[in-house]
Amino acid sequence: MVNLVIMRHGEAEALQSTDAKRQLTTKGKAEACRMASWLRQHYPAFDKIICSPYSRARQTAELMLQKQPAGCELALLSDLVPEGDPVQVQLYLDALWSTEPEQRILLVSHMPLVSFLVQTFSSAGQCPVFATAGLACLQYEPGRNGQLLETVSPQELSLLPV
């Protein structure tokens, strides 16, 4: 069963005064909405959405939250910034799952961290490159090796028949 989904934020505008303030473009919002709908159709609801404090990741997380039922919580985690440490994120989630083992979690972050997170949480150590709003679905148990079950991107979904 998938209990962890790692997602890259949607397409963002060009670099502004600071990287942290970059906003989603119209395309980035559409990408996030498309992925939110796909997740809602293919997987059970999330208990928590945890995202980077950067604007584009927060905006993506908020769009994902709109497709979740009431009760799904949104939280910020400073370790989910682009240069974050995947081991610190793993320790944080392991602690969370130790008290709430059934939690289904969506992480929204940035390249290259999303790739390193998949590598950290999966037994095969896969390190996929993520398209904007791309996601990786994993089965993970603290203290054990996880398994990457699938990756999906908005571009791949656009190739499927409607």
Residue 8, classed as helix, strand or coil, is: strand
pLDDT digits 0-9 by tens, 118-134:
999 998 777 889 999 99
Tally the C-alpha atoms within 13 A of residue 84's C-alpha that lie toward its C-beta: 28
CB distance 4 to 146 below 8 Å: yes
Above 90 in pLDDT, residue 143? no
- Write down the pLDDT at residue 17: 77
Structural domains in the chain, sorted by start: 4-14+22-158 (3.40.50.1240)
pLDDT of residue 123: 80
Q: Residue 140 burial (CB < 10 Å; 0-12/13-18/19+)?
A: buried
pLDDT tens digits, 95-121 = 999 999 999 999 999 999 999 999 999
Q: What was the pLDDT predicted at 50? A: 99
For residue 47, the number of C-alpha atoms closer than 13 Å in the C-beta half-sphere is 12
Residue 144 is predicted with a pLDDT of 82
Q: Which residue(s) pair with 106 in the sheet?
A: 5, 49
pLDDT of residue 161: 64
Q: Is 22 annotated as a binding residue?
A: no
Q: 14: exposed, middle or buried (C-beta count within 10 Å: 0-12, 13-18, 19+)?
A: exposed
Q: What is the pLDDT of residue 5?
A: 98
Q: Average model confidence (pLDDT) for the chain?
A: 93
Which secondary-structure segment (H or E) carries 99?
Answer: helix 86-99
Task: Give the pLDDT score at 162.
Answer: 56
User: What is the tens place of the pLDDT at every residue in 19-69?
Assistant: 999 999 999 999 999 999 999 999 999 999 999 999 999 999 999 999 999
pLDDT given for residue 71 in this prediction: 93
